[in-house]
Amino acid sequence: MKKFAFLILGFWLIAVLAGRLLQLSPNLIDLNAILSSPSAQYWLGADDLGRSILARLLRGVEVSFLVAITVTIVTMTIGVFIGLIAGFYGGKVDQILMQITDIFLAFPGILLAIAFAAVLGPGLGNLIIALCLTGWVSYARLTRGQTLSLRNRQHVQAAESLGAGVPRMIFRHILPLLASILVVEATYSLASVMIAEASLSFLGLGIQAPDASWGAMLRDAVRYMLVAPHYVLIVGAGLMSLILAINLGGDYLRDALDVKTKE
């Protein structure tokens, strides 16, 4: 299964690069090709405005990668920072930061993202901000729990007894031990962010027309399921294959980085 996952991921990454190099026109309208089936001119058919589904699919996956990678980097940075501070210092600092985290955990992440997106307004930038405001919680709790355990390790206490400063103990003796766990968490986060982006765009709170998004394409495609079933099937299969490949890749990384499975 890991070969399948890497093949699918490689295929979509190559597709993004190919879409850039070929300079396709995802917004080019052809009224004579509205909802046309796959053909020599339109390999995957055309949508309800006569635009190439292939061109828009490639633009949509590019947007998904852009949003997912940006949100993952930002949320991981925020969450890891909060978790390290809470776990290292403990006491009241830990209580205050974890109470704030628990408030965010009290609401489903997608509902909070919808609320923030509705307040901020639709658009790519606001979509990224909305997802960043809700995605840091899992990193914070994971990092805090691991830091509490690592804080009492002998090498950390030895560094502290030798006069090492807090930044050195955190970035030299604690954070490197969290790297493998955070990499696996980031992999699953990529898939979650892609689903969230597609969901918000499906609801009209994400990427706006005429730019392409898989969620917006699915929203348009379901209206024509009876007359153009290829439209929804192609977009749905593309999204499912990418999410499945990322999750399988995350499972592989988890097993590969887990010390217990190597023993």
Quick: pLDDT tens for 20-50.
888 788 899 998 999 999 998 889 999 989 9
212: which residues sit within 8 A by CB, 6+ positions away?
26, 27, 55, 56, 57, 59, 60, 63
Residue corresponding to tokens 């609801």: 203
Residue found under tokens 């689903």: 195
Cα–Cα distance list, 49 to 10, 24, 123 (Å): 30, 16, 21
For the stretch 137-190, pLDDT in tens is 999 999 999 898 888 777 777 876 777 777 878 888 888 888 888 998 999 999
Predicted TM-score (pTM) of this structure: 0.89
Placement of tokens 């405005």 in the chain: 49
The contacts of residue 109 (CB under 8 Å, 6+ apart) are: 134, 135, 137, 196
- 126 neighbors 120 (Cβ within 8 angstroms): yes
Is the predicted pLDDT of residue 257 greater than 80, yes or no?
no
pLDDT > 90? residue 121: no
Phi and psi at residue 26, to the nearest 5°: -70, -15
Length of the chain: 263
DSSP 27: T
Window from 18-27, 46-55, 211-220 with minimum mean pLDDT:
18-27
Q: What would the two tokens of residue 123 be?
A: 């658009």
Q: What is the pLDDT of residues 85-115, one digit of tens each?
A: 998 888 899 999 999 999 888 888 788 888 8
Per-residue pLDDT for 2 more than 80?
A: no
The answer to whether residues 84 and 170 touch, using CB atoms and an 8 Å cutoff, is yes
Cβ proximity of 202 and 222 under 8 Å: no
Residue 1 has pLDDT above 70, yes or no: no
The answer regarding whether domain 2-11+50-262 maps to CATH 1.10.3720.10 reads yes
* Position 259 confidence tier, pLDDT thresholds 50, 70, 90: low
Distance of CA 15 to the CA centre of its chain: 18
17: pLDDT strictly greater than 70: yes
The predicted structure's pLDDT at residue 107:
81
Higher-confidence residue: 261 or 103? Answer: 103
Average pLDDT, whole number, for the chain?
Answer: 87
Q: According to the 3-state scheme, what is the secondary structure of 5-74?
A: HHHHHHHHHHHHHHHHHHCCCCCCCCHHHCCCCCCCCCCCCECCCCCEHHHHHHHHHHHHHHHHHHHHHH
- How many whole angstroms separate alpha carbon 139 and alpha carbon 246? 18
* Higher local confidence (pLDDT), 1 or 210: 210
